[in-house]
Amino acid sequence: MEEVPKGLSIVSQQSRFHVTDHAANASADIDIKGINASFGTKEIFEDANLKLFNGVRYGLIGRNGVGKSLLLKSIAYRWLPGVPAATNILYVDQLEREEQENRKILDLVLSQNQKVWRKWQQIELLSTALETDDEETMREALHKLRVDECERELEELKMVEARTSGARGLDARKSVLKKSKDLRTMKETGGDLQEPVQVSIQQRLQELYESSEDRTELTTKAEQALFSLGFSEEHFELQLRQLSGGWRIRVALAMAKYIEPQVLLLDEPTNHLDVSGIIWLKKYVSKLDDVTMVIISHDRAFLNETVDELIIIQNKSFLTHPGNYDSYVQNTEEQKLHRQRQRDALQKKRDHVEDSIRNGLSQGKKKGDDKKLQQVASRRKKLNERWGVERNAAGHRLKINRDLQGYHYTSREDVQEEYVDPPIQWKLPQPTTLRSPGPMFQVDDAWFRYDTPKTAKPRWILKGVNMQVQQGDRIALIGPNGQGKSTMMGMLAGSLKPVKGQVRMHPHVTTSYFEQHFVDNTRALSVSMSDYIHDKYPTMRQQDIYAALGAFNLAGAIYQPLSSLSGGQSVRFAFALMALEKPHALLLDEPTNHLDLDASEALRECLMEFDGAVIFISHDIYFIRSTECKHVYLVNETKIEDIESVDRYNPPSERLKLSSQ
C-alpha cells in the first residue's frame, strides 16, 4: 500500500463514519461526490463529483498540474474516501521507478497479486533460514518477518485513522498508538524470542502453505498473460531495464491480465512508444471488455480511437463529455457559438426595450399619460427582475418552479459564461540573419556505431546518411524505437561524432538541443529555476529571469525546486533556457511527451512562428501533420529515407528488442 504523500489532504462527501461499511461493496461502479483535495495551501479539487460506470473507457484530460495522476493514484491506493475496498483496481504507470528496473518481468507480473506474493516471499525467507540449521539465522529471519507484519498492520491502521473521526477516530488513534508501541518493543528486543525458534518457523511455514494459493498454477497464469502479449519463454528472465518503452507497457498490461482488475487506470501509456507501439496499444485497449478504464493521454489520435467518454479536469472540478476528443472540441466550439448568439440576441432585445422605455417615458411626461408611464414602469421592472434566458438547457420554455429551484436574485438567469483556461502562448526570439550563405547542417555519408566490448560484434546504428538542413526548414524524424533517431539528433548537435563521413554545421549557427532525458535529469536537481538560470548567466538581472520564465507560463513557479516540477513544467523550463540561447536551429527529441494537449498546441504554434530551422523527433501523428514539415525522414534499419509525409509511413509490427542501455 502506497503512503499518502506528505501535505496531501483529500476528502469526499462520503461519511467518514461509514467508509468501512461502504467499502464492503465490490461494485465496479464508482460514485463519489464532494471531492476536495489540496497540497499544502494549493487547492486541487473543490466539490468535484466522480462517476465511473462498469465497462466504460474514459479519457482523463486537463492541463499539466491540475491533478490527473493524483486522481488516479487516489483511486488506486484508496487515499480517496468512498472507493470500495473490495473492488479490484490496478494503476499502471510507465514502469520507470528505480526499484523496478532490475526486476525480472515474470516476477513483476506475479508481484501484482500483493497478498499472495508477500506470502511466497515469507515462505522463501523462512525456508532458506530453516535449511541453514543455524539458530541465529533462523531467529533473525523470524524476527524480520514479525517486524514486517507489524509495520504493515500499522500502516493499515493509519489509513483507517485518516478516514475516520469522532468516537471511531478516537478508537483508531488508540489502535495506532498501541501498534506503534508494539513495533518499538519488537525492534528493541531484537531477535530475542522466547519460544523454540525451529518449532516456531515450522509452525509458521505450515500456516503459510495452508493459506497460500498454488504457486505453480498462478505462475502458469502469469506466463499465459505474457504469452498473450507477445513474449516468449526466453524473455521471462529478462530484467525490465532491458526492455524498450513499447514492451514495458506490454508488461504492465500483462499485470492487468494476470490479476483481472475491475478498474484499470493507465497513466500516460503512450509516452516513449513509437508509432507501431501506439497502433498496437490502440487495438489492444479497444478489445478489452468488461473492465472500466481511465486513460490519461496527451495523444489526440489515441484518445479519439480508444475512449467512450471524456472526463475533463477544469477549474478544480470534473466535467464529462460523451464522446472522443475531437467531438469534445467540436461540441465546445458549438456551445461557445450558441452562448454568443444567445448573448447577442438578448442584447439586441434589451436595446430595443430600453429604447421603448426612453421613448415611452418622454411621451408619457410630455402628454401627462399615466397609462403610458405605468407601461414604462412595467418594462423597467422586467429589465431589472425578469430579464435573461427564456429557455432552459433542453430548449424548452423556462419555468421558474422547475428550472430555478432554490434562491435566486432574479427570476431569470443571464447566459452562462463558460470557463476558459488562461491562454498558453510560447514565444521564441527570432534568429538573427546569417552573414554568409549555405546550409545550417550538411551530413555527408555519415556512419555511426557505439563502442562495444572487444568480444561483442560491433553493430552499425546508421550507415551512409546524407541530409541537408536550410534555415526555415521543419523536419521530423520518425521510425521504430532503437533505430537511431536520437543518435542522428546527437550527431547534428555535435555531442556524437560519426565514425565515418562528416556532419558539418554552419560556422555562425547557434543550436539549442532538447534531449529526451532532460525531464528526468532536471528532476534530480534541488535548486530553483531562478537559481539555475542565475548560475548559468551570472550577470542576468532578476527581472529578466522572471520575464524569461514568464514567457513560458512559469512566472508563478520561479522559486520552485526543479525536483518538484511536473513533466510539463520541466519541458517549459527547457524552452525558456533555449530562448535565452537565441538559437538559429532547434533540435528537439520527443518534446511533446510530457505536455498536455493545450501545451502541445502552444508548442506547435510557437514552432510555426519560429523562422529558424526545427528538427524534431516525435511519435505523435497529429503533431507531425500539423507542423507542416518540409521533410519527414524515416529512420529504420541503419538508413534514413525522406518519405515526404507521415501519412506514407507504414510502421512494421513491433518486435521485441533489448535496450542498448
Residue range 228-255, pLDDT digits in tens: 888 888 888 888 877 766 678 888 888 8
Q: Are 505 and 470 in contact (CB under 8 A)?
A: no
Question: H-helix or E-strand containing 441?
Answer: strand 441-449
> Considering only CA atoms, which of 149, 153, 157, 155 is closest in space to residue 207?
149
Query: Does 8-103+239-315 match 441-648 in CATH topology?
Result: yes
> Considering only CA atoms, which of 50, 222, 198 is closest in space to residue 137?
198
* Residue 310 scores a pLDDT above 90: yes
Range name among 207-216, 437-446, 499-508 with the lowest pLDDT average: 207-216
Please report the pLDDT score of residue 658 as a whole number: 47
Q: What is the CATH number of domain 8-103+239-315?
A: 3.40.50.300
Please report the pLDDT score of residue 620 as a whole number: 86
* Residue 212 scores a pLDDT above 70: yes
Give the CATH number of domain 441-648; options: 1.10.357.10, 3.40.47.10, 3.30.1440.10, 3.40.50.300. Answer: 3.40.50.300
> Considering only CA atoms, which of 9, 6, 7, 17 is closest in space to residue 169?
17
Sheet of 309-314: strand order equals 89-92, 263-267, 292-296, 57-61, 309-314, 317-321
Cell of 136: 541465529
Give the residue-averaged pLDDT of 260-275.
84
Q: What is the DSSP letter of 658?
A: B
pTM for the model stands at 0.74
Please report the pLDDT score of residue 403 as a whole number: 55
Going from N- to C-terminal start, the domains of the chain cover 8-103+239-315, 115-205, 337-403, 441-648
Residue range 363-385, pLDDT digits in tens: 888 878 888 788 888 877 776 66
**CA 298 to chain CA centroid, nearest Å:** 8
